[in-house]
Amino acid sequence: MQEIFEISDRFINAADASHLLYEPVDGSLTFRRTRRYEVEAEGDRDKLEKFIKATLLDDISQELHFGEDSALEDFVFVLEYGMKPGALDLEKEAILTYYNGIKDPGFELKDLKIRQRIYLFGDKDAKSDRFVRDICNAAIHNWSVISGNV
């Protein structure tokens, strides 16, 4: 089974997108970040969900979104990026170490991909090029830009 979980901060509002760039942008762009976990596993889906909630989610300050649909709405575009295969991903290593320490998790974790998502809101004509250039490192990241729904 393949499951997708996206975690967003409940109490952090959209911030000025210029903070992401080396040079400020013209206009009124804001952003919010989420983390997206793409899990390939075999076994009990309920136990996988319980594992995700126990290890990755803070129930008080975060919200968990299930499925392929975006966790946030009304965005101009999303910059989604993560570590290339073979690059050192400390978060992934910590999750796998914790998983391997569980005696009987009830599922077998086959693959885990962790992606950062930066949702941009505001000016419909905003371009993603500067964000890709200033945020992503071609040596260690792979990325995609997802067009928005505004």
pLDDT of 150 strictly over 80: no
Q: Which residues pair with 118 in a beta bridge?
A: 33, 79
- How far is the C-alpha of 138 from the C-alpha of 111, rounded, in Å? 22
pLDDT of 149 strictly over 90: no
**13-57 residue pLDDT tens:** 999 999 999 998 877 899 999 999 999 999 999 999 999 999 999
Within 13 Å, how many C-alpha atoms sit on residue 106's CB side?
9
Which alpha helices (DSSP H) does the chain contain, by range?
A: 45-56, 90-100, 129-135
- % of the chain residues with pLDDT over 90: 90
Contact 117, 6 (CB under 8 A): yes
**Residue among 79, 92, 84 at smallest CA distance from 37:** 92
Locate the domains of the chain by residue range. Answer: 2-147
pLDDT given for residue 74 in this prediction: 94
- How far is the C-alpha of 29 from the C-alpha of 46, rounded, in Å? 39
**66-83 residue pLDDT tens:** 999 999 999 999 999 999
